[in-house]
Structure formats: C-alpha cells, structure tokens
C-alpha cells in the first residue's frame, strides 16, 4: 500500500454528532527504531511487544459545526483542560487532514487518561496517539460504513505513525513489526503489521516489569535523538544491524529460545544507548541506578539461572522481561534488590497484551 491508498473516497454519511472511545496500549521494542526520514519514515525496521497494563483511554465526542475553515477541539486530560497538549494535537491534525478530510467539519471534545501514574517517565505518546487515531478512524468508519477491517487497522496505524513513530505499533498485539524488511512479507514503512511468523507460546505471555528509575522529563527528546542519527558515524551499520537482528529473531521466536532472545534484546538496548552516547552532540539517558539494575539483573541471572533480562527505551527506566514461569522468582528479586534503585520504590508490572480495544459507553 502507498500513502495514496489512505486518501478516502467521498463519504456516504455525515452524522450530526456522536461519541467513540478506545483504549490503546503502550509497547516496548525488542529491535529498536532510532533514526528517521520525513515524514516519520523509519531508518530501520523494528519490532515490539504490545503491552497490556500501560494504556491510554481516549473518548472523542464530535458535533457538526457550521463553518469548516479550521480545526476546533477541546482537550481534557484526566478530567481537566490541558492547554499545553493542544499544539501537538493541532500539528497532528494538520498532518493527517488530507487523509481524514472530515476533521474541519466537526467540533471535537477529546477526553484522555492514562492507566500509568502521571509523569512516571513512561512515554504516553505511543498509547496516546494510537488511542486518538483509533477514535478518529472509528468516526471515519461511520462516514464510510463499507470500510474493511484490514483497511481500518492499517490506516489507524498509518495515522498513529504520523503522530508519533512508535505509536504505529500500539494498535494490535502481541508482537508488531514496523518498517520495510525484505524477508518480512507485507512489511511497510507506513504502518505496523502483526508479526507474520510463528511465535512460541512462551513469548505470548511474557512479562515486563518497568522499573521507574527516573520520573522527570528527559534531557533530550526522542525527536532530537532521531535527528542526531543524520551524519552519525555508525548510522549505516546500525540500520543494517537492526534488519539483521529481525532475521536472527525469527528462529528465536519460533523455537522459544530464551538464551538467544536475551542476548539479542539486551544487545539492542545497549546499542540504542551507544548510538546516543556516540552522537554529536553526545548525550546519555541512563542514570547510575539504570546501570546498578542492569548489573544486578546480570548477576542474578548468572547465579540463579532465572531467565530475566532487560531492555531500555529512550530514557533511564529499565524494562525487565521474563517468561511467565519465572514470575514468582522475578517479582521476589524486584522486591529484594531492585526497588531500592527506583524513584520512590516505584515500578509497574505489565505483560504482553492483545492490542487496542473499543470501549462501549
């Protein structure tokens, strides 16, 4: 599919008003996306576990307005007006208007809330943009009732990508791939797809305990980080490596090879941060407690053979990944050794989820 396929045919219906609600999860990448071209085209393919507990719920009420000269919307975050989110939504609307030409015909009331604690350092842009895109596509489906499910899913992911790259992996579960890859059929730079190959059941119930090391705002945003991959001395080999890691992951996921999984996932996390540390200007998002946790995970795994491992996103928090069979040991380990390294002792127990769901009011 190309961008043009997402331009709609003339709408058949124009309801006067209505309301739609969706809950979309966050995701954690196993092979990381880092580096992009305009507009939100990834420099390399990536794959993520869709999460379950960390999610955004968004409702969009819409009502026909008389003039269609501009966007008109109110935004409420956790029940309160949130003016500082509005510019991001306006930019998003401008970017997607060609694909959703009804946007100027309605006044929208967008009400959104997160399941995870406010300012936990967890990126809400993935789940937030996914939930909003789902609501907007649900409205488009009311205007074009013949819409096929596959078109709905692909276009939702396409729109979410235009809001925040990795958001395109937050529509479906349980493993989503994004980015053109020569060995992955139907893979696309424009939207995420459900991973099309065999996945052993151990990976379908995997856990992710998110250790909240640093809850403040990041010193360097992902947007800036992606830009710093332009002219980066290791960029080309990194992009190549990400593609190869997706190839290597295929037999690992199919056979349930935990040892291979751990090596690949930890190497990806450290490579992502190595790219940050070798950018110009260079920067570092890990904190001393990030390293303490990583070292403790390594020591614990070596001593006990419990297959816990870590990954990182663009921040200081550590995602500790483990199979369901290791759950009791892993949670005891978190209590005994890791909470001391978390801000206010906070962490979130999450697991692989099945994707976004529609909420019926």
- Taking the least distance from each CB to ligand PMV, the nearer of 28 and 258 is 28
Residue 68: how many CA atoms within 13 Å on its side-chain side?
A: 9
Whole-angstrom distance, CA of residue 134 vs CA of residue 171 = 8
- Taking the least distance from each CB to ligand PMV, the nearer of 46 and 113 is 46
**Residues in 11-30 that interact with ligand PMV by CB under 6 A:** 29
Kindly state whether residue 341 participates in binding ligand PMV, applying the rule CB under 6 A. Answer: no
Instruction: Name the minimum Å distance from CB 303 to ligand PMV.
Output: 30
Instruction: Name the minimum Å distance from CB 36 to ligand PMV.
Output: 7
**Residues in 256-295 that interact with ligand PMV by CB under 6 A:** 272
Kindly state whether residue 164 participates in binding ligand PMV, applying the rule CB under 6 A. Answer: yes
Instruction: Name the minimum Å distance from CB 113 to ligand PMV.
Output: 20
**Residues in 37-56 that interact with ligand PMV by CB under 6 A:** 46
Whole-angstrom distance, CA of residue 282 vs CA of residue 54 = 30
- Taking the least distance from each CB to ligand PMV, the nearer of 103 and 123 is 123
Closest alpha carbon to 85 in 121, 113, 106, 51? 113
What would the x/- binding string for ligand PMV be over residues 197 to 226, using CB under 6 A? -------------------------x---x
Piece of the chain touching ligand PMV by CB under 6 A; list 151-159, 161-169, 207-215, 353-361 = 161-169
- Fill in the DSSP letter of residue 172: B
329: Cβ contacts below 8 Å, ≥ 6 apart:
304, 306
Kindly state whether residue 166 participates in binding ligand PMV, applying the rule CB under 6 A. Answer: yes
Sign for the CA dihedral angle at 215, 354, 179, 242 comes to positive
Q: How many CB atoms lie within 10 A of CB 67?
A: 8
SS3 state at 282: coil
Whole-angstrom distance, CA of residue 225 vs CA of residue 240 = 18
- Taking the least distance from each CB to ligand PMV, the nearer of 33 and 99 is 33
Whole-angstrom distance, CA of residue 51 vs CA of residue 298 = 24
Exposed/middle/buried for 229, CB within 10 Å: 0-12, 13-18, 19+?
buried
What are 36's strand-pairing partners? 42
Instruction: Name the minimum Å distance from CB 142 to ligand PMV.
Output: 29
Instruction: Name the minimum Å distance from CB 304 to ligand PMV.
Output: 29
What are 81's strand-pairing partners? 76
Binding test (CB under 6 A) with ligand PMV, winner from 212, 293, 314, 342: 314
Kindly state whether residue 33 participates in binding ligand PMV, applying the rule CB under 6 A. Answer: yes
What would the x/- binding string for ligand PMV be over residues 56 to 95, using CB under 6 A? ----------------------------------------
CA 114 to chain centre: 14
Residues found near ligand PMV in the complex (CB under 6 A): 29, 32-34, 46, 123, 125, 164-166, 222, 226, 272, 313-314
């Amino acid at each position: 599919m190309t961008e043009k396929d997402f331009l709609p045919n003339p709408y058949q219906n124009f309801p006067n008003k209505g309301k739609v609600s969706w809950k979309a999860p966050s995701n954690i990448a196993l092979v990381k996306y880092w580096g992009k071209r305009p507009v939100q085209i990834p420099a390399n393919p990536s794959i993520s576990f869709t999460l379950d507990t960390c999610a955004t719920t968004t409702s969009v009420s819409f009502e026909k307005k008389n003039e269609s000269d501009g966007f008109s919307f109110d935004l409420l975050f956790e029940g309160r007006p949130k003016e500082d989110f509005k510019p991001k939504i306006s930019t998003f609307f401008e970017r997607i208007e060609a694909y959703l030409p009804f946007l100027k015909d309605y006044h929208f009331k967008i009400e959104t809330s997160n399941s995870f604690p406010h300012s936990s350092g967890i990126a809400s842009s993935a789940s937030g943009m996914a939930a909003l895109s789902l609501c907007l596509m649900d409205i488009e489906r009311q205007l074009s009732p013949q819409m096929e499910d596959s078109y709905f899913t692909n276009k939702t992911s396409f729109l979410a990508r235009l809001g925040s790259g990795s958001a395109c992996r937050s529509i479906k579960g349980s493993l989503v791939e994004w980015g053109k890859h020569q060995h992955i059929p139907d893979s696309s730079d424009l939207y995420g797809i459900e991973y099309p190959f065999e996945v052993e059941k151990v990976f379908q119930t995997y856990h992710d305990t998110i250790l909240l090391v640093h809850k403040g705002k990041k010193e360097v945003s992902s947007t800036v980080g992606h830009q710093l991959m332009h002219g980066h001395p290791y960029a080309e080999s990194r992009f190549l490596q990400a593609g190869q890691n997706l190839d290597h992951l295929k037999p690992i996921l199919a056979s349930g090879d935990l040892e291979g999984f751990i090596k690949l996932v930890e190497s990806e996390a450290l490579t992502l941060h190595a790219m940050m540390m070798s950018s110009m200007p260079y920067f570092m998002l890990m904190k001393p407690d990030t390293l303490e946790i990583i070292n403790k995970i390594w020591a614990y795994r070596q001593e006990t053979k419990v297959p816990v491992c870590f990954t990182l996103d663009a921040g200081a928090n550590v995602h500790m990944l483990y199979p369901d069979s290791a759950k009791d040991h892993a949670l005891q380990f978190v209590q005994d050794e890791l909470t001391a390294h978390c801000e206010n002792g906070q962490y979130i127990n999450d697991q692989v989820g099945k994707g976004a769901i529609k909420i019926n009011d």
